[in-house]
């Protein structure tokens, strides 16, 4: 059960140092840098501290100083002379000092000794071949190194005594971020659109709060819960919400942070993470992007037996087998590639509960928009349900970005509240791209207008097609013109008639160009990519070809070395069927546009005049009334993407 906070006068509870104390890595590196600087100072500065500099003078200047009585003493090492002057002497650069050095030429025949004795100069001499004392050699050669090693050992002992495992052991420390259980930043109130997933995770929260409720009947909580879903659906948010609701320590780490270039570091970090979680139990471990280390060990060729990723995966498997669910440690993980995970991770006793996080439906999107607009001032004309209808296929991250783009657009205009027009502009910016300021010739604008009119007109007259929301010949993103179609409702099943309607609509631009100009251009590249993808999936995945039959020839994901599950004859047949379906759809598009040539010309001329037309304007120009019975459309992003030139 969740504990009540202590009264103000009571002593705050002590945290467990082993579980919650972070690694003091910055302090270690600062100390190491100080030792390095000290090493340089000792080697280069300390032995010469307090000594005046030595200047180099010519031999003539030296003789002048001796004759002037300014030399107190000299030391001769062979022909090299160093000495001390009574008054500072200057070298050729103007530097002055009482210490000097010079070199006596080998051809000099002066009586230097008599001159020095005449001016009472103390004469010293050194053996030029004398050996350096052993202590001095050791001090200058090994002293700095010994100092550095001693400092290294000292820091290593301090780190080990603090539980950090030494300096080398710091690489094996888990880099998981610990969120404060007393101040959760996320709860189930911050999650919307996936109520069925929240219901499944509520059981995990109840177990962490009241484990006796489940244990009294002999039941045990699953050790691992795997969240599967597309990017942006809210998997990480759900995991943090579970920790926030249960009010327990939450260790969060990305799977890629386990792996390092040093073999064995990943396994060491896994051990450290589970050790900290057990010490802080009840606790939650969250591993994001599990597929980074959890890929199947038989999926590809391993080069060598000491693969770091495989060792890390083996350690995770061992740790999840090694703790009891009654310890109160639950492992949550998230991935969008569950098909490539190792089967050992998914067996009972490890990640034995798998929860699929789907994209939200229309009511779910409206609920998500309400959460993200809680701190955004909205104008009176904003209808979040209407915005949710215009954003099929968007997930939580997309909707958050939509609200942010709308708020930024309103701020640029100097508005005090975000209006419906700001949301509409944001949707167009996200789906269609940013407007480009390029100058098109009249001939290019007319060709683009007919191309987009072909898309829009077929979206009105083809049975089962998605309603056309907007058509524009203003360049956006990488397209010179865009036709935006949006489904009426959310569905997750695909009919063959709908797929053919999508292909006919996508080929409308190419068919219009051929009908009007007799030639085609490169503007249909993206349209042809969509048509090819849909036709191939119809034949290979969904068995919608009578010749190929009700078979699924899709290649399995995650194994690039596995051969295709059919021979060359079947491959040729698949290619023929894909081409047949595409050509039939193109013929249908050309036929329909020929029958409605008058509406095509009217729509193109209106586009040339206005640049953009919305749904109502399109219906007024063409005179076509929408069907009273419109089939619901799926929202798969791969199939509903608006065709563009």
Predicted confidence (pLDDT) per residue in 131-144, tens digit: 666 766 766 677 77
> What CATH number should be reported for the domain holding residue 343?
3.40.50.300
Same domain, 61 and 183: no
Outline where 541-625 has alpha helix (H): 568-595, 597-610, 615-622
The answer to whether position 365 is within a domain reads no
> What CATH number should be reported for the domain holding residue 81?
3.30.720.210
Structural domain that includes position 524? 442-640
Over residues 545-573, the pLDDT tens digits come to 999 989 888 875 545 556 677 788 888 99
Catalytic residues: 452
Same domain, 616 and 528: yes
Tokens of 319: 């740790």
Positions of E strands within 71-171? 71-77, 80-90, 96-103, 122-125
Report the SS3 class of residue 271.
Answer: helix
Asked if 259 and 308 touch (Cβ cutoff 8 Å), the reply is yes
Asked if 434 and 477 touch (Cβ cutoff 8 Å), the reply is yes
Same domain, 92 and 188: no
Residues in a beta bridge with 472: 482, 612
Asked if 189 and 199 touch (Cβ cutoff 8 Å), the reply is no
Residues in a beta bridge with 253: 287
Positions of E strands within 182-282? 224-229, 250-254
Place of tokens 């609920």: 367
Same domain, 147 and 56: no
42-49: long-range pairs with CB below 8 Å, 24+ = 42/143, 42/144, 42/147, 43/140, 43/143, 43/144
Tokens of 314: 């083996």
Asked if 572 and 564 touch (Cβ cutoff 8 Å), the reply is no
Give the residues of the chain that fall short of pLDDT 70.
Answer: 1-33, 35-51, 127-133, 135-136, 138-140, 155-184, 219, 260-265, 298-308, 322-327, 489-491, 556-563, 626-645
In angstroms, the CA 339 to CA 291 distance is: 9
Closest by CA to 327, choosing from 224, 208, 247, is 208
What values do phi and psi take at 231, rounded to 5? -60, 135
Same domain, 181 and 316: yes
Query: Does this model's pTM top 0.85?
Result: no
pLDDT score for 22 = 41
Same domain, 224 and 310: yes
DSSP string, 315-372: HHHHHHHHS-GGG-EEEEEEES-GGGB-HHHHSTTSS-EEEEEPPP-HHHHHHHHHHH
Number of H helices, E strands in the chain: 25, 16
Closest by CA to 36, choosing from 156, 188, 149, 195, is 149
> What CATH number should be reported for the domain holding residue 387?
1.10.8.60
The answer to whether position 536 is within a domain reads yes
The separation between CA 576 and the C-alpha centre of its own chain, rounded to angstroms, equals: 41
The answer to whether position 96 is within a domain reads yes
The answer to whether position 13 is within a domain reads no
pLDDT score for 290 = 87
The answer to whether position 362 is within a domain reads no
* Beta strands 54-56 and 329-335, pairing class: unpaired
Same domain, 168 and 228: no
Same domain, 275 and 166: no
The answer to whether the peptide bond before residue 282 is cis (omega within 30 degrees of 0) is yes
Q: What residues contact 530, with CB distance under 8 A and at least 6 apart?
A: 502, 503, 506, 641, 643
The answer to whether position 8 is within a domain reads no
How many structural domains does the chain have? 5
Domain boundary residue, one of 307, 326, 357? 357
In angstroms, the CA 590 to CA 599 distance is: 14
The answer to whether position 110 is within a domain reads yes
* Beta strands 177-179 and 329-335, pairing class: unpaired
In angstroms, the CA 645 to CA 632 distance is: 26
In angstroms, the CA 424 to CA 489 distance is: 19
pLDDT score for 640 = 33
The answer to whether position 10 is within a domain reads no
Residues in a beta bridge with 177: 252
In angstroms, the CA 90 to CA 55 distance is: 7
In angstroms, the CA 450 to CA 607 distance is: 9
Same domain, 219 and 281: yes
Same domain, 422 and 548: no
Work out the end-to-end distance of the chain between its first and last CA atoms, rounded to an integer number of angstroms: 59
**Distances in whole angstroms, Cα of residue 175 to Cα of each of 135, 155, 268:** 47, 21, 11
Same domain, 217 and 259: yes
Tokens of 349: 């006793």
pLDDT score for 510 = 93
Same domain, 218 and 100: no
């Amino acid at each position: 059960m969740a504990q009540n906070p202590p009264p103000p006068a009571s002593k705050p509870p002590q945290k467990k140092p082993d579980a919650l104390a972070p690694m003091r890595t910055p302090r270690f590196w600062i100390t190491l840098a100080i030792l390095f600087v000290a090493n340089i100072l000792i080697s280069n500065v300390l032995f010469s501290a307090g000594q005046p500099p030595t200047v180099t003078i010519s031999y003539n200047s030296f003789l002048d100083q001796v004759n002037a009585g300014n030399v107190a003493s000299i030391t001769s090492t062979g022909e090299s002379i160093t000495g001390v002057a009574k008054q500072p002497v200057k070298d050729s650069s103007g530097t002055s000092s009482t210490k000097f050095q010079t070199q006596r030429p080998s051809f000099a025949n002066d009586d230097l000794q008599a001159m020095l004795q005449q001016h009472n100069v103390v004469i010293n001499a050194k053996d030029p071949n004398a050996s350096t004392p052993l202590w001095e050699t050791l001090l200058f050669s090994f002293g700095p190194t010994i100092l550095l090693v001693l400092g290294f050992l000292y820091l290593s002992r301090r780190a080990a005594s603090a539980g950090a495992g030494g300096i080398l052991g710091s690489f094996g420390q888990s880099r998981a971020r610990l969120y404060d259980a007393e101040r959760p930043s996320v709860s189930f109130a911050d999650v919307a659109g996936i109520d069925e997933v929240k219901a499944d995770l509520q059981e995990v929260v109840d177990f962490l709060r009241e484990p006796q409720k489940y244990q009294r009947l002999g039941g045990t909580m699953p050790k691992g819960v795997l969240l599967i879903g597309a990017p942006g659906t809210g998997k990480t948010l759900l995991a943090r919400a579970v920790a926030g609701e249960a009010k327990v320590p939450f260790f969060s780490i990305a799977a890629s942070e386990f792996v390092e270039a040093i073999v064995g570091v990943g396994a060491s970090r896994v051990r450290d993470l589970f050790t900290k979680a057990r010490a802080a139990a009840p606790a939650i471990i969250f591993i994001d992007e599990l597929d980074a280390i959890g890929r199947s060990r038989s999926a590809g060729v391993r080069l060598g037996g000491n693969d770091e990723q495989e060792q890390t995966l083996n350690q995770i498997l061992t740790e999840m087998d090694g703790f009891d669910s009654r310890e109160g440690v639950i492992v949550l993980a998230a991935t969008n590639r569950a098909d490539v995970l190792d089967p050992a991770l998914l067996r009972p006793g490890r990640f034995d509960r798998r929860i699929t996080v789907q994209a939200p439906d229309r009511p779910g999107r409206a609920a998500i928009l309400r959460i993200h607009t809680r701190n955004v001032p909205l104008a009176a004309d904003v209808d979040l349900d209407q915005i949710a209808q215009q954003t099929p296929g968007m997930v939580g991250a997309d909707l958050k970005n939509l609200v942010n783009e709308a708020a930024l657009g309103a701020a640029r205009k100097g508005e005090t509240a975000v209006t419906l027009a700001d949301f509409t502009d944001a949707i167009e910016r996200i789906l269609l791209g940013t407007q480009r300021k390029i100058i098109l010739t009249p001939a290019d604008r007319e060709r683009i207008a007919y191309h987009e009119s072909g898309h829009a007109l077929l979206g009105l007259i083809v049975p089962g097609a998605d309603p056309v929301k907007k058509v524009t010949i203003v360049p956006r993103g990488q397209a010179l013109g865009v036709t935006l179609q949006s489904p009426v409702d959310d569905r997750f099943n695909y009919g063959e008639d709908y797929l053919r309607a999508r292909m006919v609509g996508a080929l409308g631009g190419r068919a219009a160009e051929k009908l009007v100009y007799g030639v085609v251009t490169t503007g249909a590249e993206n349209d042809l990519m969509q048509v090819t993808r849909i036709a191939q999936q119809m034949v290979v995945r969904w068995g919608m070809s009578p010749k190929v039959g009700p078979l699924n020839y899709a290649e399995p994901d995650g194994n690039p070395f596995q051969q295709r599950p059919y021979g060359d004859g079947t491959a040729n047949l698949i290619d023929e069927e894909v081409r047949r379906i595409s050509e039939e759809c193109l013929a249908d598009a050309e036929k329909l546009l020929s029958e409605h040539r008058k509406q095509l010309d009217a729509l193109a001329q209106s586009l040339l005049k206005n640049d953009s037309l919305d749904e109502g304007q399109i219906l007024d120009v063409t005179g076509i009334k929408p069907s009273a019975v419109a089939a619901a459309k799926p929202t798969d992003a791969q199939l509903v993407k608006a065709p563009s030139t």
